[in-house]
Each structure stands twice: as C-alpha cells, then as structure tokens.
Amino acid sequence: MTEPACVSYEADQRVARIVLNRPERGNGITLGLVRELAACVERADLDPDVRVLLLSGNGRGFCGGYDLVESAQGMGAGADTRGAELARSPLDPAVVAANHDPAHPWDAMVDYAMMSRNVNGFMSLFRCGKPVVCKVHGFCVAGGTDMALCSDLLVIAGDAKIGYPPARVWGSPTTALWAHRVGVQRAKRLLFTGDSLSGREAVEWGLAIEAPPADRLDERTESLVARIAQMPLNQLMMMKLLVNQTLYAQGLHSTQMLGTVFDGIARHTAEGYAFQRRAAEAGFREAVHERDDPFGDAGRSTFKG
C-alpha cells in the first residue's frame, strides 16, 4: 500500500505551490516529509515555467516541529539513519536508559549525519534558484521555523505564533538563521528564553514581510507571489544569488554545522535526559507543557516586548 504524500505539489501561472500535508499531525516533520519537500523544490527549480515557489501548510497551522509521536512508533527519521539500537524514539524509556549506558554511548557524529540531512532538506528552499515565499497560519514552532526561515520571504497571519521553544531544553536551531533574520540581539532575546512572536511582532522585528489578519492571509500572499511572478526569471535568480552571498560570507555554513552539533548535545545533557524521561513517562505533550508552564506560555504565544 502506497503511503500518502507528506507534501503536495502543483504549478500554475508561474507559481509552484508546495503544501505540507500531514494536518492530522500538525504537519510534523519526518524524514519522509523532508525528502518530499526537497524533491518538490527541485521539481519547481527545474521547471522553466515556474518563477516563484509558495510554501504553506494544510490544517490548523503551518508546522508544529518534529513528529516525535510518529518516531515513537518506529517510523521516524531515526529508523532510517541511526541503526537498530537507536531506531526507536529518543523518548522510549529503553532508549533513554541505553543513552546512559557506557557500553552503548551516544555517537555525536552519527547524530550529526542524521540531522545534517534534515538541514540539507530545509536548505533546499534557500539554495533554490527561484524565490520562495512562505505563508504561515496558526503556528510555526520548533523545527517548523527551519523551513520558514530558509524561505526568502515570510507572510504570516497577524495572530499566528512563531518561535523556537526547544531553546529551553532539548534543542538548538539547526539551520541557525535567527541572527541573520532578526539580528544578533533579538535572536539572543528569543533563544535565551524560548519565547515566541505573534505574526504582528514578527513584522515589527523584521522576521516577516507582512502580517495580515488571518482572513486576508491568502489574499495578501497571492498578491505578493503574483507580483514576483511578473519578473523575468533571470532577474529573480540573480537577485536571490546576490543577496544570499551576504549570508554565506557571514559564515552561514559554519554556523549551521555548530547549530546541528549543538542540537545533538542539547538532547544529551542532564536536562535533556530528564526531559526524555518525563516525556517517556507522561507523554511528549505533557513534558512540553511542564517545560513551558513556568514561562507562562504553555501552548500559547504570550511574548511581550
């Protein structure tokens, strides 16, 4: 039986529309989703009739991050890349115990090999020769922000939520684009607390280009991509290459390598193991709720200033 597509694709009127299509799981990230995303980006990049890509998500929100529940069922990214001893979810109690066992130590480079493949998939949006507009509704958190920030332009609903709460425990932004998108001080403000921004705040901080009301998000995004699609393709490609060189010159490749290694380390600190144990006992949602509750925003976007 063929598995349903994690990402849908269609192209018309010079626009390639790529949609994350796992609404029942909040468009949670799996290895399959990342692979399909990269394949869709390449398809659009090679299509001479396409001038701009529009990335969005189906369902209640854009993306809620990595799908750790699916991983717990042995179907996630770990099953393909980390070997039999790590094929189960990192939230599995047996895996938590094994990670403490000196006879089966955590291999940072195996972890890096796995996660860097995801980074390469996300970065297909950045490397694509054509502009990528990301449309966010509802929520875009944790690993979901990697796709949004790798896109060229972000249009987000005014009431949507965007941020990287795993900065509090058990994560590091692997694509390492926060400082490039909002500046060093504001990136520190977000990553030192794990706070999220509303869509309106994302525009104020320079992260997004526009934050219309939710009921006008489609209209405003379509207006933007239609305007971009009028440009000659060669001009669009040159402008994107020109601007992207600035980020490369600032050391993006090195920063992403560090961010990806740090992500593995963050999952194997004393606090990371404690989070894993609690998630294995009470469920991932409850562990996240307990992590975020002291900040007053468990499941909510309450960043103020």
Please give the pLDDT value at position 105: 83
Please give the pLDDT value at position 90: 56
C-alpha to C-alpha distance for 141 and 149, rounded to whole angstroms = 11
C-alpha to C-alpha distance for 21 and 148, rounded to whole angstroms = 16
C-alpha to C-alpha distance for 102 and 92, rounded to whole angstroms = 18
Q: SS3 of 269, please?
A: coil
N-term to C-term CA, the chain: 50
C-alpha to C-alpha distance for 147 and 57, rounded to whole angstroms = 11
C-alpha to C-alpha distance for 256 and 146, rounded to whole angstroms = 11
* Domains of the chain from N-terminus onward: 7-295 (3.90.226.10)
As given in the structure block, the two tokens for residue 103 are 């006879």
Please give the pLDDT value at position 152: 98
Give Cα 88 distance to the centre of its chain: 22
Range list of β-strands (E), the chain = 7-12, 15-20, 52-57, 132-136, 139-141, 153-156, 161-163, 196-198
Buried (b) or exposed (e) across 70-86, using 16+ Cβ within 10 A? bbbeebbbbbebbeeeb
Please give the pLDDT value at position 103: 65
Please give the pLDDT value at position 104: 72
Buried (b) or exposed (e) across 203-216, using 16+ Cβ within 10 A? bebebbbbbbeeee
Q: Mean pLDDT of all residues in the chain?
A: 88
What does pTM read for this prediction? 0.89
Low-confidence ranges of the chain (pLDDT < 50): 70-88, 93-94, 299, 301-305
